[in-house]
A = this chain, B = another copy of it.
Amino acid sequence: MYKLLKKKNSVRRGEFHTPHGTIQTPVFMNVGTLAAIKGAVSSMDLKEIGCQVELSNTYHLHLRPGDEVVRKMGGLHKFMNWDRPILTDSGGFQVFSLAKLRQIKEEGVYFNSHIDGRRIFMGPEESMRIQSNLGSTIAMAFDECIPNPSTREYVLKSVDRTTRWLERCKIEMDRLNSLEGTVNNKQMLFGINQGGTYDDIRIEHAKTISKMNLDGYAIGGLAVGETHEEMYRIISSVVPYLPQDKPIYLMGVGLPSNILEAVERGVDFFDCVLPARNGRHGHVFTSTGKINIMNAKYELDDNPIDKGCGCPTCQHYSRAYIRHLFKAKEMLAMRLCVLHNLYFYNKLMEEIRNAIDGDYFEDYKEEKLHAWSGNV
């Protein structure tokens, strides 16, 4: 249940109540694809770096260890020892980005596993059943993530199918939640807005799915090649047509600057692999922009990655030490940088919430964008 705490222009400050605790929004979800954050970061670490919601990937967990295994282990929360909210995606995005020899039909998608090549079918019902086995707090509807660019004709056809799939998702999720023995009988379902870069198709679709009384609404199919300006324009177009009493989730976005722009346009939920992936490559966020810790100029730099940062890495280790760890190919290098970057994102969201609470979001946004000098 979403509770709007404050609204100014389109900027929203809210709370989302779930059976696994309350989420303060706007929020950034930390991506743990396979029930662990890449970079040797555990669920214990996530608590330490201020993560509110963990996000896992349905497609990956379906293949390894298998959602049946997770169900038998009591669900994802118990399996990975995380008692706060978990969102699982539908698997749709991965089916469309990772899997091979894909065939899209009305019933769903046939594809080959990217692990062992075996033929798999996934449709709305399968996605719901897998997510139900995982027992996440929030399940995402199974949709087609439309490639960019796509013709208007294809997008129209695809969005219609995604709507029919959403109806099937809702029916199946209701059925699964009513069964005895379901891991989480209060699993919530978010619908996903699609429509490529066609604002009118996006708006029509938003209107249609808004009538379906889902627990939240996502904007999908962005950050797939369009410009930032297109992305911002689409968000601005779509948000007014989504229910204002439900959280709005911008999927797979993004850079800190993208998040500020999207919060300004009314978005509540975010997720992205970028902070963890960047961290594993030694690209770390600071209050003055992103730096590459492997740069030779940090060889003797005794400072933490970011002065004033409260993360476990900056509390204990210097740029020189972390640079050395990368050069020496020590795994600890990745761990320290991923911890720092995720903390940076979680802290950014906390500051955004404080700024909205304190009525200075616009100033905060301008100040941050200026400080980062376009480098995040």
Q: Which of A's residues lie within 8 Å of B, judged by CB? A: 34-44, 60, 64-65, 69, 72-74, 79-81, 299-300, 302, 312, 316-318, 320-321, 323-325, 327-328, 330-336
Inside 8 A of A34's CB, which chain B residues have their CB? Answer: 324-325, 328, 330
Bound-state Cα–Cα, A41 to B42, Å: 12
- Identify which of B64, B65, B323, B335 contacts A335 (C-beta below 8 A): B335
Complex copy number for this chain = 2
Extra contacts besides A40-B332, A64-B324, A73-B318 (9): CB < 8 Å: A36-B325, A40-B335, A42-B332, A65-B320, A65-B324, A65-B327, A73-B302, A81-B317, A331-B334
Given contacts A72-B300, A73-B302, contact A43 B316 (CB under 8 A): yes
Q: A108 to nearest B CB, angstroms? A: 25
Q: A316, B44: Cβ atoms under 8 Å? A: yes
Could you list 25 examples of A-B contacts with CB < 8 Å?
A34-B324, A34-B330, A35-B324, A38-B331, A40-B330, A40-B331, A42-B332, A42-B335, A42-B336, A43-B316, A60-B328, A65-B320, A65-B323, A69-B300, A73-B300, A73-B318, A74-B302, A79-B320, A79-B321, A80-B321, A81-B316, A81-B317, A81-B321, A331-B331, A331-B334
Inside 8 A of A64's CB, which chain B residues have their CB? Answer: 324, 327-328
Bound-state Cα–Cα, A335 to B135, Å: 26
Inside 8 A of A318's CB, which chain B residues have their CB? Answer: 73, 79
Inside 8 A of A328's CB, which chain B residues have their CB? Answer: 34, 36, 60, 64-65
Query: Which of chain B's residues has its CB closest to A60's CB?
Result: B328
Which 4 A-B residue pairings sit nearest by Cβ, starting from the closest? A40-B40, A40-B331, A65-B324, A40-B335
Given contacts A325-B36, A330-B36, A335-B335, contact A320 B69 (CB under 8 A): yes
Bound-state Cα–Cα, A284 to B64, Å: 22
Query: Which of chain B's residues has its CB closest to A317's CB?
Result: B81
Bound-state Cα–Cα, A333 to B42, Å: 10
Bound-state Cα–Cα, A40 to B44, Å: 15
Bound-state Cα–Cα, A320 to B75, Å: 12
Q: A331, B73: Cβ atoms under 8 Å? A: no
Q: A109 to nearest B CB, angstroms? A: 23
Inside 8 A of A81's CB, which chain B residues have their CB? Answer: 316-317, 321
Q: A42, B327: Cβ atoms under 8 Å? A: no
